[in-house]
């Protein structure tokens, strides 16, 4: 008798989400296949908006192609690791050598490996809310529990350190700091980072500092490397070539360890074991790293007045200021805006339903706020990678849909069925 086949997914995936590439993105692809032109602002992918990797990086890979055909050391090629060390030293991070650097297939792989080497069943990691959702997913996949510390919109999405420390429990192993922040664009003040460092040292927490947008700040906002502040515990700084150098497809990231490395020798040995099991990361892309970090930093022109990223960000702020529905804490860094809808004007607004209707009716793809592990339904994220003209069109479509919501809400305001107002103008069949 033949058994009926039903292949079930792992139970470990039950609470894992990554909605940035989820249901909405799949629906956008379906619409594109039907012939619709979709304005996709859900992902920070520079190449999709015409940005190019610096030519010197491409040439460095071509010139070293013959040296990229075999496996390399599990931590990465020495020139790449040494380039990371030199960058850290230039930032006044002391005591770091090439042995403290791990090269990975993007920061994404290193987030997974660094957590896998650390966590046991039920261990907790403090993760910001809103967060880059891979952090929450990776904690969950590695048998841990993500405890979200709030970064409130009313405080410009900067955390309150006392509020963070109240969440520390006996199973808390680490804290994640994302600065400059994705999705909000917040750049944390030095005083806040110092307070987080002292808290982590008091509590014996490992600090994971996600600094992938380290050089992407605007209007004088100061980026402070966390490793310059953390001394009496272990600090892992994670960054890569994807954003600053517009090289997402090269899949080159790094984790560099500083602080109390001696006390973490067993952990770092476990991490090297995991790095060995995946043999090595993409060798060809690693040959671009030394040229990238040591060469001309073209990101400076892009984030300065007149530069494309600067002007696109300015267009977003201008469009929000001209809207009667939208609110925004001006992003001081990164390549996103985390935009809120005024609850006083649209009290029944739901970010997921809005994002779906915006896609279906206006052909604009955004990421709803709940994708970033927040408890409210009033925000959405867009990237500022499109040029200003495209962004003006995007906001015209957003405002048009919000006006429709407001008109329909007004027409049902006198209805006896007041409790069903959201369904009257937001429900998608």
Give 91: exposed, middle or buried? Use CB within 10 Å, 0-12, 13-18, 19+: middle
Taking Cα atoms as reference points, which of 176, 197, 184 lies closest to residue 110?
A: 176
Taking the CB of residue 46, how many other CB atoms lie within 10 A of it? 21
- pLDDT at residue 427 is higher than 80: no
Q: What is the pLDDT of residue 23?
A: 86
**298, 309 contact by CB (below 8 A):** no
Looking at residue 412, what is its pLDDT? Answer: 60
The Cα 216–Cα 213 span in angstroms is 5
Residue range 25-73, pLDDT digits in tens: 899 999 999 999 999 999 899 999 999 999 999 999 999 999 999 999 9
pLDDT tens string 198-238:
999 999 999 999 999 999 999 999 999 999 999 999 999 99
Burial status of residue 372 (CB atoms within 10 A of its CB: 0-12, 13-18, 19 or more): buried
Strands (DSSP E) found in 65-187: 101-104, 124-129, 145-150, 172-178
Is residue 411 scored above 80 in pLDDT?
Answer: no
Question: Which value, to the nearest 10 degrees, does the dihedral of the CA atoms of residues 361, 363, 364, 370 take?
Answer: 50
pLDDT in tens, 362-401: 999 999 999 999 999 999 999 999 999 999 999 999 999 9
Closest CA to 283 of 116, 80, 13, 128: 80
The two structure tokens encoding residue 175: 């804290």
pLDDT above 50 for 423: no
CATH topology for 55-294?
A: 3.40.640
State the span(s) of the chain assigned CATH 3.90.1150.10: 11-51+301-410
Share of the chain above pLDDT 70, in %: 95
CA distance 296 to 390: 29
Residue 420 has pLDDT above 80, yes or no: no
> For 310-315, what is the mean pLDDT?
97
- Report which of 336, 377, 342 is spatially closest to residue 356, judged by C-alpha positions: 377
**What is the SS3 assignment for 270?**
helix
Q: What is the pLDDT of residues 327-360, one digit of tens each?
A: 999 999 999 999 999 999 999 999 999 999 999 9
Mean pLDDT over the full length of the chain = 92
Query: Which residue, among 111, 109, 52, 118, has the nearest Cα to 270 in the 3D structure?
Result: 118
Choose among 264, 283, 345, 246: nearest CA to 81: 283
Task: Give the domain 11-51+301-410 fold.
Answer: 3.90.1150
Name the segment(s) of the chain with CATH classification 3.40.640.10: 55-294
């Amino acid at each position: 008798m033949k058994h009926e086949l039903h292949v079930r997914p792992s139970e470990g995936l039950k609470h894992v989400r990554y909605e940035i590439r989820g249901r909405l993105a799949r629906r956008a692809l379906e619409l594109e296949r039907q012939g619709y032109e979709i304005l996709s602002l859900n992902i920070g992918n520079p190449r999709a908006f015409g940005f190019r990797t610096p030519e010197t990086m491409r040439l460095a890979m071509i010139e070293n192609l013959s040296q990229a055909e075999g496996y390399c050391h599990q931590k990465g090629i020495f020139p790449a690791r040494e380039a990371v060390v030199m960058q850290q030293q230039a930032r006044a991070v002391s005591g770091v050598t090439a042995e403290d650097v791990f090269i990975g297939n993007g920061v994404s792989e290193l987030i997974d490996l660094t957590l896998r080497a650390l966590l046991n069943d039920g261990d907790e990691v403090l993760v910001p809310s809103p967060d880059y959702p891979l952090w929450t997913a990776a904690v969950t996949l590695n048998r841990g529990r993500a405890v979200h510390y709030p970064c409130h919109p009313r405080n410009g999405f900067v955390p309150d350190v006392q509020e963070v420390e109240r969440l520390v429990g006996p199973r808390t192993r680490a804290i994640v700091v994302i600065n400059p922040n994705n999705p909000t664009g917040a750049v944390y003040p030095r005083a806040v980072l110092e307070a987080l460092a002292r808290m982590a040292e008091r509590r014996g927490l490992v600090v994971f500092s996600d600094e992938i947008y380290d050089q992407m700040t605007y209007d004088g906002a100061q980026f402070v490397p966390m490793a310059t502040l953390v001394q009496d515990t272990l600090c892992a700084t994670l960054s890569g070539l994807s954003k600053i150098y517009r090289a997402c497809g090269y899949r080159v990231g790094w984790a560099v360890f500083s602080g109390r490395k001696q006390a973490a020798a067993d952990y770092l040995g476990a991490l090297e074991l995991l790095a060995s099991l995946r043999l090595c990361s993409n060798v060809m892309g690693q040959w671009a790293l030394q040229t990238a970090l040591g060469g001309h930093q073209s990101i400076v022109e892009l984030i300065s007045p007149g530069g494309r990223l600067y002007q696109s960000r300015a267009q977003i702020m201008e469009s929000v200021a001209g809207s009667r529905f939208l609110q925004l804490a001006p992003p001081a860094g990164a390549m996103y805006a985390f935009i809120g809808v005024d609850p006083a004007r649209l009290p029944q607004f739901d970010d997921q339903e809005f994002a779906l209707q915006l896609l279906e009716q206006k052909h604009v793809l955004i990421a709803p706020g709940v994708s970033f592990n927040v408890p409210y339904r009033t925000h959405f994220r867009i990237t500022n990678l499109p040029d200003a003209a495209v962004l003006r069109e995007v906001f015209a479509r957003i405002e048009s849909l919000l006006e429709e919501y407001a008109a329909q809400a007004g027409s049902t305001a006198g209805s006896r069925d007041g409790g069903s107002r959201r369904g009257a103008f937001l429900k998608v069949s």
